Amino acid sequence: MPRYRITIEYDGTPFLGWQIQADGKSVQGSLVEAIHKLGGETVEVRGAGRTDAGVHALGQVAHFDLVKEWPADTVRDAVNFHLKPAPITILDCVVIGEGFDARFSAVARHYLYRILARRAPPALDRDRVWWVPRPLDASAMAAAAPALLGRHDFTTFRAASCQARSAVKTLDRLDVTAVGDEIRIEASARSFLHHQVRSIVGSLKHVGEGKWPVSEMAAALAAADRSRCGALAPSSGLYLVRVDYPPGPFPPRSPK
């Protein structure tokens, strides 16, 4: 039974998130339906990350198994055809070892958050940025970000509904850069807590507005208290950019 790894781009605006929902459209559900139309098989599509409603992806990764073996290019093109008109595209499809798991084999996940800080609202990027109708101090935000790098208890920046066993995570990258009116926040880690990136962005915005001093990011982290977090940034500005994996092969795991 061949295993396929796909790299996916999607606009998260019309979806309730990655995971299949009983009461609305999801990215995962749309893929399952399109793959079923390819060859009549109902498969489990497992993703590298469960993006929330409205979150976008430039390089989400998923895998699934098919009973019938198809050329990888055929799977990509046929599933893309059956996905229409949903704003989801399979960028790449490869056959991979049965030991590969899109979620558990990942060694790094990379996210981008886009803030548009200007008086005029976006036209082309509506639902794809967080529009803040005033200037933000990107330099202050960049100065505050390094306080979160490394291994910490991120309880302050964790959703109350987060199901992770531990709030301790290692944040490998948190860069803030300004490109014209846009502020781009890039975060990388092996894994993230639920709402961690959006919570960090909302707190950095407080620094950019002058509501928090630069030192408050470190103080909020050390408090390990959700009430010390800034307002949660909206999902519309968040993108799953890329997921990294070790080089193959991925042999099947030996039974215990």
Alpha helices in 118-236 (DSSP H): 138-144, 196-209, 216-223
Q: 243 - beta bridge partners?
A: 109
Task: Give the 3-state secondary structure of residue 81.
Answer: helix
Q: What are phi and psi of 90, to 5 degrees?
A: -85, 115
Task: Give the 3-state secondary structure of residue 180.
Answer: coil
Give which of 38, 36, 18, 68 is closest to 243, Cα–Cα: 18
Q: Is the dihedral of CA 50, 55, 59, 62 positive or negative?
A: positive
Asked about 77 being catalytic, the answer comes back as: no
User: Which residue among the candidates 52, 65, 125, 137 is catalytic per the annotation?
Assistant: 52
**Residue 160 DSSP label:** T
Task: Give the 3-state secondary structure of residue 198.
Answer: helix
CB 60 within 8 A of CB 240: yes
Which residues are identified as catalytic?
Answer: 52
